[in-house]
Structure 1
Amino acid sequence: MKHAKHTFEIGEKDFLIDGKPTVLRCGEMHYCRIPRPYWRHRLQMLRAMGCNMVATYDFWNLHEPTPGRWNFAGMADLAAFIKLAQAEGLWVMLRPGPYVCAEWELGGIPWWLLKVQDIKLRTQDPRYMAAVSRYVTRLAAEVRSLLVTNGGPVLMVQVENEYGSYGKDKEYILAIKKLWERAGINVPLFTADGPSQLWNGSRTDTFCGVNGGVGSLKELRRFRPSGPLIITEYYPGWLSHWGEPFPKVGTPGIVRDVTTMLNERTSFNLYVAHGGTSFGLWAGANFPKFAPDTTSYDYNAPIPEAGGVTEKFLAIREAIGKATGETLSPIPAPIPTITLPRIRFEESARVLEHLPKPILDSKPRTMESYNCGLGAILYRTMLPPGEAATLTISGVHDGAQVTVGGERLGTLDRRNGESHTLSVPPRIDSRPLDILVEALGRINYGSGLHDRKGIAGDVLLDGKLLTAPWQVFPLPLEAAPTGLRYQLQDYNGPSYYRASFAVTQTGDTYLDMRSWRKGMVWVNGQHLGRYWNIGPQQTLYCPGCWLRQGVNEIIVLAWEAPRQAALSGLTETILDDLRPDALPGQPHRKRGQNLSLVSLAPAWEGTLPDGGALQTIVFAAPVPGRYLCLESLSNYKGDAFATLAELTVLGENGKPLRARVIYASSEESGSEDGKSDNAVDGNPSTHWHTAYSSGEQNHPHHLVVDIGSEQNITGVKLLPRQGEPAPNGRIKNARIFVRRDAFPGI
């Protein structure tokens, strides 16, 4: 179909389409997180919500799984998705990176670059830039004809992504921009950063947006005094990690902000309007405390994982309709859902009986060293006879099972640290030592990006390096296993389970994995993703378009024996069922801890301004330290509470430093998600809130963070809890302390 040609410009005050001022009402969804047969439905849902534009990241590692081998077919057919968006009346914002974050494996960067041991990602390292150049050239060939300058719907293309949270090399940003320009991308190019990162990651000669809430616009205007305003990521939901509560973002605040933005002619991109699913092994992980992302990318978004209608969707639709006066598109009919009766698995096959040919090595190395990207890896050596000993394994990335002579020594979890010790019993003869390591997604954000998998450290027996010959068995798990010898029996160790089931009509369903412990699932060869009984996700989304009338095959990889080798299909998802063992280290205040600041001199004390604007505090002189404590002495409402959206520790030259919360005097986890981790999660829509459902605690309130090593701390940036009118807990009087050593009492 031939479409009319349009023009797009960035004016002094507005975005101009065919010369007419236009507010971009954008919603983000990712083509590869949606089954291709459902693309049209999801785009129609976005249009019905009131959006006139769709944004999508483009995933380099999906398109170039191995160097020089390109994939733009099926769910990776980006051009087809863009054309379909145009057919549904939507403009397009492309966000191709090369780094995208997105809670996606390595932030979209191909794992195979990590085979080069000293490579520096997201820098001008010539080896990295050469690979980026190839990607830009190839992707541009896919989308060039779809730019608005060529009659397509693509209005804007993003350069890199949130670079200010990673580095401050603006020449690198310029180099990426020039690559897109040389590749023929002749629509406006832009960058996007959080409010406190704009000064590091954006350039004054390149258009930019800001990621965050309405309060972030003040910082954007400080950085870029003219031009239309756009929030390039406004968060109507938030991401979910294994072992942590499912985040929820309330609807009233979203409706208020969307209405405000439309009334003030501020453009926005809802990140995400529809999240979908990180099928297969594409879910990433966060840092500095290793936190793997769930398979579901529901995100508590207005359009949920399977594309239905939510109260949040209807409220946003109503707000946009009222503010614009437009008659919005009708809501499309939902995708049918079905139940699946209980499926029993009577066949299984041991993983360790279906190993590939081993690779011989003098020591264990990372998965990348053996050309294995996604999946798992087994390291095997022989332990000599001897007395009881201590086995130390450092750099466990990410989960591991350790056995000696087939007997389980322990299960290791990187969420609890990267170095582990295990007790080895006495041995009267030589015994095989097996270390089976599962990769749980490479880190997609922050300074931990160079996240190699497998064993990234040493294996020691009583402090001595194990240098005996090792057998290494890479276990890539992207594709469904084939050629297995199934038996009619159960096994205790890691095993594949196979069953078949029949349906008379197809429809979406959710596989109930609550009787299983940890692993992954394939249905008719389609990789649905990982499951893990710690929650909060307890179901796996199985799209009806991947089922067939008649007989279907399902294979479950179980790293540990299930409680029952059976499952069923539900019509509703379970994304908020956290199991009791899922919160190691929570809450942040342990029994018996009682922070004491007596006799300590603050690095800063004073009164914070009222309102929701980002506040920068600069110390009189840099203070060397590793630990920082924020003490809230009062708030602007005069009640007992303290709240905070974001705390950013500043190093030399004002560089943002990554921090993790190690102590909170009080935090609310019952009636809302007010955990203290929210203050360092990079999301201005979440916040720390002191406790109230279990009893109030009066001021002072304390939040202590650890930046990982001693550095010269020059100040902090504080983003108050967002929302108008002024919400509870906005801090008024405060003190900030810095220590080289841990604070007394914790």
Structure 2
Amino acid sequence: MTETSRFRIGETDFLLDGRAHRIISGAMHYPRIHPDLWRDRIRTAKLMGLNAIETYVAWNAHEPVRGQWREDGDVDLGRFLDIVAEEGLHAIVRPGPYVCAEWHNGGLPTWLTAEPGIRLRSSDPRYLAEITGYLEKVNAIIAPRQIDTGGSVILVQIENEYGAYGSDTAYLDHLVRLTRAAGITVPLTQVDQPIAHMLENGAHPALHKTGSFGGRIHERLATLREHQSTGPLMCMEFWCGWFDHWGEKHHTTSAEDSAADLELLLAAGASVNIYMVHGGTNFGLTAGANDSGRYLPMTTSYDYDAPISEAGEITEKFRAFREVIARHAPVPDEPLPEPHDAPVLAAALHLVSNPLADATTDRGEFPAPPTFDELGPDIALAEYTASVPGSGVLAADVRDIAWISRDGTSVGTLQRTLGDHSLALPAGDTLTLRVEETGRVNYDTKIGEPKGLIGTPRLNGEPIDGPWRVRTIDVFALESAVRDAAADDAAASGPIAGPAGLRATFALDEPADLFLDTRGWGKGYAWVNGFFLGRYWRRGPQRTLYVPVPATRAGQNHIVIVELETMTDATARFVARPDLGHEVE
């Protein structure tokens, strides 16, 4: 940062063109929003009175396969930042390389975390070599879009909540040097929860400390001030809602209470980034997981009970926040959009036989079961088969769910979330475990843990000798496999045992946001017009999947479902309003 920069950190304030400036920002993550809706969501956030938009950058969204870098379509960070600038707002970018964010593997690519012995988030030379290439690419996007070159970017964050994980100053030194060498001249920040040891562990003299918290505002600002003696106070993550795990209740926070906390922040003169102003959706297989003693995968919805809903509608919380902000900063004098119902319709699903076949690759035989990570990056579904005569108790470490069959007949499941590690295995000859990973851990020390079958399953305490035949299923290829396969003319009826592929067509007068009702379905994946909506699961809490309007079209639309368990209602129903589950504050 230079003294001639338009945006600087002063003794007490952020300074914009030499004048005190308060940041009132909101978080939205561009991969969680259909790119054709970026401008709409940014404009809606601006109506609330925000003057900035913050986003994480998820490395694994840009480079899911080593060397195959993307920065187009849904990961066109440059276009997203350009839209922010065009809408007259500033931008805060948090490129990690670790981001957490309830995102698959905390944003780190699985090909990286699968490296044996690599020390993540440290000055391990192997790790530094990999992240250097990543940050050079990201910073090449950010640098020409800084405020000093006519762009929107005013702050760049280094790492993310590092003090909760480590204290490797050499690692932070490397990130700072790399970022400055790339031409990033705006102030650099760091974030941690305002807990003394976290703020101390993650401290670096080149970084301005910010906090992540919700509630106990005065106490947390005071703790932050103890560790950041000069410059502006900023809550980089003002938690105004929360995320959901499969099998839990839908979390909400009181609009009144959240607005009161926002008032305290602004009245104290602090800057703020509302996390999230618009949460969006974990489309495809991007949802992460937590494990603090029990593995809990994230839902597809990342609504977060944010002021702007998953479908882009303003909420009671939006109006409450807007009233608070208006007491401290200018708010656009424009009418607010009103909520509206989505089209209601239904279509009978038609069954496709053997839906996994065209998306399956035979990986050969192995003396012991390989993990997903040993088979390649971002494998989410695979089958392990061995000759296992006899009967008894099968024990296996599966990550994260396995459907067990004996000579082609289903005999049960093992679920990591439920602590299932064994089941009674009837007499037979062939054993097959179809294993799915349901979300990569995104926080703490279990980031990058192996998926699939871990170790060798045992029968009656004895290891099951190979060979093991392994087949991997390309989940992303399932949509075209089902869409293009032969199907019966008659609609499916009665309970449908998975794995099963189903499809239907439905008509719309015009493109529209939709809410796909998943009640009556078990566990699986859904697509509309080839757009991967994500996972559904009868465990809830969410009972609908959001279909963004750009994924639909006037006239005929097609829907593809891959059911992995059992479907009791072979109908694709679209309902007027989302159902994210029973609310709990």
TM-score by length of 2: 0.94
**1:34-53 map, 5 Å:** 34-53=33-52
Residue by residue over 1:54-97, the C-alpha shift from the partner in whole angstroms, topping out at 9 and shown as x without a partner, is 10001111111211111111111101011101111110000010
Write the distance in 1 (CA, Å) between the matches of 2:509 and 2:94: 41
Write the distance in 1 (CA, Å) between the matches of 2:152 and 2:185: 13
User: Paired residue for 1:249?
Assistant: 253
Identify which of 431, 436, 439 aligns with 2:437.
Answer: 439
Identify which of 283, 286, 290 aligns with 1:282.
Answer: 286
Residue by residue over 1:88-116, the C-alpha shift from the partner in whole angstroms, topping out at 9 and shown as x without a partner, is 11100000100000110001100111332
User: Paired residue for 2:208?
Assistant: 207
Write the distance in 1 (CA, Å) between the matches of 2:305 and 2:297: 17
Q: Is 1:155 aligned to 2:154, yes or no?
A: yes
Residue by residue over 1:331-389, the C-alpha shift from the partner in whole angstroms, topping out at 9 and shown as x without a partner, is 554686532411111222324544322322111111111114142111111112x3x32
Identify which of 353, 362, 367 aligns with 1:362.
Answer: 367
**1:609-648 map, 5 Å:** none
Amino acid at match of 1:350: N
Identify which of 449, 454, 457 aligns with 1:459.
Answer: 457
User: Paired residue for 1:476?
Assistant: 474
Displacement, 1:252? 1.8
The answer on whether the counterparts of 2:147 and 2:153 sit within 8 Å (CA) in structure 1 is yes
Question: What SS does structure 2 have at the residue aligned with 1:467?
Answer: coil
Write the distance in 1 (CA, Å) between the matches of 2:532 and 2:338: 24
User: Paired residue for 1:301?
Assistant: 306
Q: Is 1:168 aligned to 2:170, yes or no?
A: no
Number of aligned residues: 568
Residue by residue over 1:182-232, the C-alpha shift from the partner in whole angstroms, topping out at 9 and shown as x without a partner, is 222121111100112211122244211011132311111111111110001
Displacement, 1:277? 0.5
The answer on whether the counterparts of 1:372 and 1:475 sit within 8 Å (CA) in structure 2 is no
Question: What SS does structure 2 have at the residue aligned with 1:357?
Answer: strand
**1:491-570 map, 5 Å:** 492-570=497-575
Write the distance in 2 (CA, Å) between the matches of 1:480 and 1:182: 44
Q: Is 1:216 aligned to 2:220, yes or no?
A: yes
Write the distance in 2 (CA, Å) between the matches of 1:340 and 1:359: 47
For the pair shown, the structure with the greater C-alpha radius of gyration is: 1
Question: What SS does structure 2 have at the residue aligned with 1:412?
Answer: strand
Amino acid at match of 2:296: A
Aligned in 2, Cα 1:101/1:421: closer, same or farther, shift over 3 Å?
Answer: same
User: Paired residue for 2:107?
Assistant: 108
Amino acid at match of 1:150: T
Write the distance in 2 (CA, Å) between the matches of 1:72 and 1:336: 34
The answer on whether the counterparts of 2:114 and 2:448 sit within 8 Å (CA) in structure 1 is no
Residue by residue over 1:449-492, the C-alpha shift from the partner in whole angstroms, topping out at 9 and shown as x without a partner, is 12221112221112221122111111121345324534326752
Amino acid at match of 1:345: L
The answer on whether the counterparts of 1:397 and 1:456 sit within 8 Å (CA) in structure 2 is yes
Structure 1: gaps of 5 or more residues: 579-671, 674-746
Q: Is 1:240 aligned to 2:244, yes or no?
A: yes
Amino acid at match of 1:209: T
Write the distance in 2 (CA, Å) between the matches of 1:314 and 1:6: 35
User: Paired residue for 2:411?
Assistant: 409
Question: What SS does structure 1 have at the residue aligned with 2:184?
Answer: coil
Write the distance in 2 (CA, Å) between the matches of 1:256 and 1:165: 28
Write the distance in 2 (CA, Å) between the matches of 1:204 and 1:439: 40
Superposition CA RMSD, Å: 1.8
Displacement, 1:312? 0.5
Amino acid at match of 1:257: D
Write the distance in 2 (CA, Å) between the matches of 1:479 and 1:130: 33
Amino acid at match of 2:404: V
The answer on whether the counterparts of 2:325 and 2:331 sit within 8 Å (CA) in structure 1 is no
Write the distance in 2 (CA, Å) between the matches of 1:334 and 1:54: 23
Displacement, 1:330? 2.0
Aligned in 2, Cα 1:434/1:287: closer, same or farther, shift over 3 Å?
Answer: same
Aligned in 2, Cα 1:314/1:424: closer, same or farther, shift over 3 Å?
Answer: same
Amino acid at match of 2:503: R
The answer on whether the counterparts of 1:275 and 1:305 sit within 8 Å (CA) in structure 2 is yes
Aligned in 2, Cα 1:259/1:32: closer, same or farther, shift over 3 Å?
Answer: same
User: Paired residue for 1:348?
Assistant: 352
Write the distance in 1 (CA, Å) between the matches of 2:5 and 2:336: 28
Write the distance in 1 (CA, Å) between the matches of 2:258 and 2:528: 37
Q: Is 1:292 aligned to 2:259, yes or no?
A: no
Residue by residue over 1:696-744, the C-alpha shift from the partner in whole angstroms, topping out at 9 and shown as x without a partner, is xxxxxxxxxxxxxxxxxxxxxxxxxxxxxxxxxxxxxxxxxxxxxxxxx
Write the distance in 2 (CA, Å) between the matches of 1:331 and 1:125: 53
Aligned in 2, Cα 1:358/1:69: closer, same or farther, shift over 3 Å?
Answer: closer
Question: What SS does structure 1 have at the residue aligned with 2:132?
Answer: helix
Question: What SS does structure 1 have at the residue aligned with 2:567?
Answer: coil
The answer on whether the counterparts of 1:402 and 1:435 sit within 8 Å (CA) in structure 2 is yes
User: Paired residue for 2:394?
Assistant: 391
Aligned in 2, Cα 1:244/1:160: closer, same or farther, shift over 3 Å?
Answer: same
The answer on whether the counterparts of 1:515 and 1:563 sit within 8 Å (CA) in structure 2 is yes
Bigger mean CA offset, 525-534 vs 375-384: 375-384
Identify which of 397, 400, 403 aligns with 2:402.
Answer: 400
The answer on whether the counterparts of 1:337 and 1:507 sit within 8 Å (CA) in structure 2 is no
Amino acid at match of 2:394: L
Question: What SS does structure 2 have at the residue aligned with 1:456?
Answer: strand
Residue by residue over 1:285-321, the C-alpha shift from the partner in whole angstroms, topping out at 9 and shown as x without a partner, is 0112111011000000111101101111001101111
User: Paired residue for 2:274?
Assistant: 270
Aligned in 2, Cα 1:231/1:479: closer, same or farther, shift over 3 Å?
Answer: farther
User: Paired residue for 2:64?
Assistant: 65
User: Paired residue for 1:487?
Assistant: 487
The answer on whether the counterparts of 2:405 and 2:411 sit within 8 Å (CA) in structure 1 is yes
TM-score by length of 1: 0.74
Bigger mean CA offset, 191-200 vs 326-335: 326-335
Displacement, 1:167? 1.5
Aligned in 2, Cα 1:77/1:480: closer, same or farther, shift over 3 Å?
Answer: farther
The answer on whether the counterparts of 1:190 and 1:206 sit within 8 Å (CA) in structure 2 is yes
Write the distance in 2 (CA, Å) between the matches of 1:70 and 1:200: 33
Bigger mean CA offset, 493-502 vs 279-288: 493-502
Question: What SS does structure 2 have at the residue aligned with 1:527?
Answer: strand
**1:659-670 map, 5 Å:** none
The answer on whether the counterparts of 1:480 and 1:526 sit within 8 Å (CA) in structure 2 is no
The answer on whether the counterparts of 1:45 and 1:331 sit within 8 Å (CA) in structure 2 is no
More helix by share: 2
User: Paired residue for 1:625?
Assistant: none
The answer on whether the counterparts of 2:379 and 2:472 sit within 8 Å (CA) in structure 1 is no
Write the distance in 2 (CA, Å) between the matches of 1:389 and 1:49: 62
The answer on whether the counterparts of 1:237 and 1:300 sit within 8 Å (CA) in structure 2 is yes
Write the distance in 1 (CA, Å) between the matches of 2:560 and 2:356: 17
Bigger mean CA offset, 555-564 vs 5-14: 5-14
Displacement, 1:50? 0.8
User: Paired residue for 1:669?
Assistant: none
Question: What SS does structure 2 have at the residue aligned with 1:117?
Answer: coil
Amino acid at match of 1:159: I
The answer on whether the counterparts of 1:190 and 1:208 sit within 8 Å (CA) in structure 2 is yes
User: Paired residue for 1:126?
Assistant: 125
The answer on whether the counterparts of 2:5 and 2:186 sit within 8 Å (CA) in structure 1 is no
Amino acid at match of 2:388: L
The answer on whether the counterparts of 2:57 and 2:94 sit within 8 Å (CA) in structure 1 is yes
User: Paired residue for 1:259?
Assistant: 263
Question: What SS does structure 1 have at the residue aligned with 2:42?
Answer: helix
Aligned in 2, Cα 1:104/1:479: closer, same or farther, shift over 3 Å?
Answer: farther
Amino acid at match of 1:25: I
